[in-house]
Amino acid sequence: MEIIYILLGIILIVVPLMLSVAYLTYAERKIIGYMQVRIGPNRVGPRGWLQPIADAVKLMFKEIIIPTNANTFLFIIAPILVIAPALAAWAVIPFMSGWVLADINAGLLYILAMTSIGVYGIIIAGWASNSKYAFLGALRSAAQIVSYEIAMGFALVGVLMAAGSLNLSQIIQAQNGSIFHWFWLPLLPLFVIYFISGVAETNRSPFDLAEGESEIVAGFHVEYSGMLFAIFFLAEYANMILIAALTSTLFWGGWLSPFQGTFLESTFAWVPGLFWFIIKIALFLLFFLWFRATFPRYRYDQLMRLGWKVFIPITLVWIVVLSVFILVKLPPWFV
Amino acid sequence: MEKLTFYFFALILIFAASRVITVKNPVHAALFLVLAFFSSAVIWLLLRAEFLALALILVYVGAVMVLFLFVVMMLDINLTTLREGFVRYFPIATLVGIIILVEMVLVVKVWKNPADTTMSTITAATVETTVVEQSNTQILGKALYTDYVYPFEIAAVILLVAMIAAIALTMRPRRQKYQKPEHQVSIRREERVRLVNMPAESKD
C-alpha cells in the first residue's frame, strides 16, 4: 500500500516536472528572442505554444545513430545516467509544509550526492561515443564539475550551519519570520556563489564549455541523435529547475510567503505555499536564461581560476564569518 | 523487503567487485568500481548509516572516481604487456592477498568464540536505541568532535600535509606565457585599438 503512495508521489512530481521542462525550452526561446529583438517560435499553434510538443514528436521519430566502434551499452546508458540523478534529487525537496516525498534527515547530503553523480553520464557519453570532440567535451565537463562542486559544497555547509539541520523542511522552518529572515541576507556571498556554481554545474551558458559549439562542435553529445539526444536535453533543463528549486529552498525560504511579517501577511494568507515556491523557481530560471542572453562563454583557464581562486577562498572566509555570527547570536537570524 | 533489498544489492556488489578485477578494459573496470561503491552505499543505508552511505557516494563516487576515470580515459594502456607477468607474480600476489585477509579478520574479529558476544550485543543494542532517538549524522558529528577530536584533527592535518606535498611535487616553474587576470581586466580600449577617421571613397 505504501509503495502505491510512493509511486503516486513520484508520478505527481515527475509529470509536472517534465511538462515544465518542455515549456522551459519554449520560455527560453521566447525570452531570449525578445531580449535579442526577435519574436522566437510563433508558428506551431497559437503564439507557438505547441512548439515544445512538435519538437518532442520530431525527436521521437528520428533515427538513433550509434557511431562505428562506439561502446553500444555505455552509449545508450549515458543519457539515462544523466537524467536519473536530476530526477532522483527531487525526492527530498519540500513543495509545501508536509508535501515532500522523502522527509529524510540527511536531505542536504543526499542532494549533494545526487548532483555529484550526474557527471558520470557526461563522461561516459564522451568516452563511449568514440569521437574526439565528444571526448574533449567530457574531459572539460569532468574537470569543471569537480571544481565547482567544492565551492557548492562549502556554500551548503554555510546553510547547514545557519539552519542547524540537514533536513530541507527544517532548513525552511529556520528561515521563518520575514523576507529578511531568509538566508539570502546573512549568507549573501554563499548564495551568489551557490547560484553561479549551480549554473556551472548544469553546464549552462556562460559555463557551457562541455558543449562549446564554436570550438568542439557540441561537446559530449555531438554523436547523439533522436531520443537519446532529447534525454540529454531534458536532463539539462531538469537540472536547471532543480538548481532553481534548491536555491529558493536553501536561501529564499522555499514555500514561505514573501509577505510574512508585513501588513500584507493576512491578505495573502490564502495563497498556498506551493505558489510562492513556483514563483521563486521561475525567477531563478529567468536568471538562467538572462545569463545565457547576456554573457559570452568563459575561457577554460578563466573558468578554473574563478572556481578555485575566487569562489573557494570566499566560501571559506564566509564560513568563518558565519561561525562568528552564530557565536555572538547575531539577531535576527541566529537568536 | 529489507532482506530482498540487501540480497539484491549484495549480489550486484559482488558481481561488480569481481568484474573490477576480471574485465579487460580499464575504463570498464573503473565504472564497475563505481557500481560497487554505489551498491555498498545502499547496503550501508540499510544499516541506518545514512551519513556514511551518502559520504561514500559524495566523496568516492562523486569526486575520487571522477578524477580516476579522467586519468584512466586518457591513458593508452597496452594490455598485452600488463598480462605478461601474471603467472610470475601470481604466488607473491596470493601471499599478499592472504596476509591482507588475515589482517582484516583480526581487526574485525569475525571468528570470535561464541561466549564472547558481549561486545557485539552491546553495540548493536546501543546503536538501535540511539539511532531511533537522533539521526546518525548528529551522533557521528558529536562523537568525532568530542571523544575523537584529536585523532580526527590529526587525520585532517596528515591529509593537509599530503595535499601540500602532492602540490609541491608537481609544481614546477614553467616558462610559459602566464596571463595576469587583473591586467586583462584593467585594459582600456585606447591601449589596444586606434580609431582612424577616414573619408568614404567615392564609387568610381
Nearest to B66 among A110, A146, A301 (CB): A146
Contacts of B74 in chain A (CB under 8 A): 139
pTM for this model (two decimals): 0.84
For B:146-175, CB contacts with A below 8 A are none
Residue pLDDT, tens place only, A94-120: 888 778 788 888 888 888 888 888 888
Spans of chain B, pLDDT less than 50: 117-122
Name the percent of chain A lying above pLDDT 70: 99
Q: Look at residue B158 in the predicted model and tell me its pLDDT.
A: 95
| CA A87-A88-A92 angle, 5° bins | 115
Contacts of B54 in chain A (CB under 8 A): 106, 109-110, 112-113
Q: Look at residue B126 in the predicted model and tell me its pLDDT.
A: 56
Chain A contact for B61 (CB, 8 A cutoff):
yes
Nearest to B66 among A105, A119, A166 (CB): A119
B34, A139: Cβ pair inside 8 Å? no
Q: Look at residue A163 in the predicted model and tell me its pLDDT.
A: 85
Instruction: Look at residue A333 and tell me whether its pLDDT is greater than 80.
Output: no
Q: Look at residue B84 in the predicted model and tell me its pLDDT.
A: 67
Q: Which of A207-221, A230-244, B151-165 has the lowest mean pLDDT?
A: A207-221
The alpha carbon of residue B165 is apart from the nearest alpha carbon of chain A, in Å, by 18
Q: Look at residue B129 in the predicted model and tell me its pLDDT.
A: 55
Q: Look at residue B113 in the predicted model and tell me its pLDDT.
A: 53
A123, B34: Cβ pair inside 8 Å? no
Q: Look at residue B161 in the predicted model and tell me its pLDDT.
A: 95
Identity of the amino acid at B202: S
b or e along B123-162 (b: 16 or more beta carbons within 10 Å of the residue's beta carbon)? eeeeeeeeeeeebbbbebeeeeeeeeeeeeeeeeeeeeee
B137, A142: Cβ pair inside 8 Å? no
Chain A contact for B69 (CB, 8 A cutoff):
yes
CB atoms within 10 A of CB B173: 5
How many angstroms separate the CA atoms of B44 and B56, rounded? 9
Nearest to A105 among B55, B63, B137 (CB): B137
B188: left (phi over 0), alpha (psi -120 to 50) or beta: beta
Length of chain B: 204
- CA trace torsion A189, A179, A89, B50 (10° rounding): 80
Q: Look at residue B128 in the predicted model and tell me its pLDDT.
A: 55
Report the chain A residue with the minimal C-alpha distance to residue B131: A105
DSSP string, A210-258: TT-HHHHTTGGGTT--HHHHHHHHHHHHHHHHHHHHHHHHHHS-TT--T
Cβ-Cβ contacts under 8 Å between A and B: the total is: 68
**Confidence category of residue A276, pLDDT binned at 50, 70, 90:** confident
Chain A contact for B64 (CB, 8 A cutoff):
no
Give residue ranges of A with CB < 8 Å to any B CB: 74, 104-106, 109-110, 112-113, 116-117, 119-120, 123-124, 127, 135, 138-139, 142-143, 145-146, 149, 166, 301-302, 305
Contacts of B51 in chain A (CB under 8 A): 106, 109
B66, A106: Cβ pair inside 8 Å? no
Direct distance between the N- and C-terminal alpha carbons of chain B, in angstroms, rounded to an integer: 89
Q: Look at residue A302 in the predicted model and tell me its pLDDT.
A: 82
A112, B54: Cβ pair inside 8 Å? yes
The alpha carbon of residue A22 is apart from the nearest alpha carbon of chain B, in Å, by 28
Instruction: Look at residue A219 and tell me whether its pLDDT is greater than 80.
Output: no
Q: Which of A61-65, A187-191, B107-111, B143-147 has the lowest mean pLDDT?
A: B107-111
Residue pLDDT, tens place only, A147-183: 888 888 899 888 888 888 888 888 888 888 777 888 8
Q: Look at residue B111 in the predicted model and tell me its pLDDT.
A: 56
Instruction: Look at residue A202 and tell me whether its pLDDT is greater than 80.
Output: yes
Q: Look at residue A257 in the predicted model and tell me its pLDDT.
A: 79
Beta-carbon contacts of residue B153 (< 8 Å; ≥ 6 apart): none
B27, A305: Cβ pair inside 8 Å? no
A113, B54: Cβ pair inside 8 Å? yes
Q: Look at residue B156 in the predicted model and tell me its pLDDT.
A: 92
Nearest to A149 among B31, B51, B62 (CB): B62
Residue pLDDT, tens place only, B105-149: 888 776 555 555 444 444 555 555 555 556 777 788 888 888 888
Q: What average pLDDT does range A67-74 have in this prediction?
A: 81
Contacts of B70 in chain A (CB under 8 A): 123, 139, 142-143
Q: Look at residue B131 in the predicted model and tell me its pLDDT.
A: 53
Sign of the CA dihedral B5, B6, B7, B10? positive
Q: Look at residue B53 in the predicted model and tell me its pLDDT.
A: 86
Q: At which residue does the C-alpha cell 577562498 appear?
A: A313
**Confidence category of residue A66, pLDDT binned at 50, 70, 90:** confident
Q: Look at residue B110 in the predicted model and tell me its pLDDT.
A: 60
Q: Which of A51-55, A214-218, A301-305, B41-45 has the lowest mean pLDDT?
A: A214-218
Q: Look at residue B160 in the predicted model and tell me its pLDDT.
A: 94
Nearest to A166 among B61, B74, B137 (CB): B137
Contacts of A161 in chain B (CB under 8 A): none
Instruction: Give me the helices (H) in B136-186, please.
Output: 136-145, 149-170, 181-185
Question: Is A287 strand, coil or helix?
Answer: helix
Contacts of B57 in chain A (CB under 8 A): 113, 116-117
Q: Look at residue B114 in the predicted model and tell me its pLDDT.
A: 52
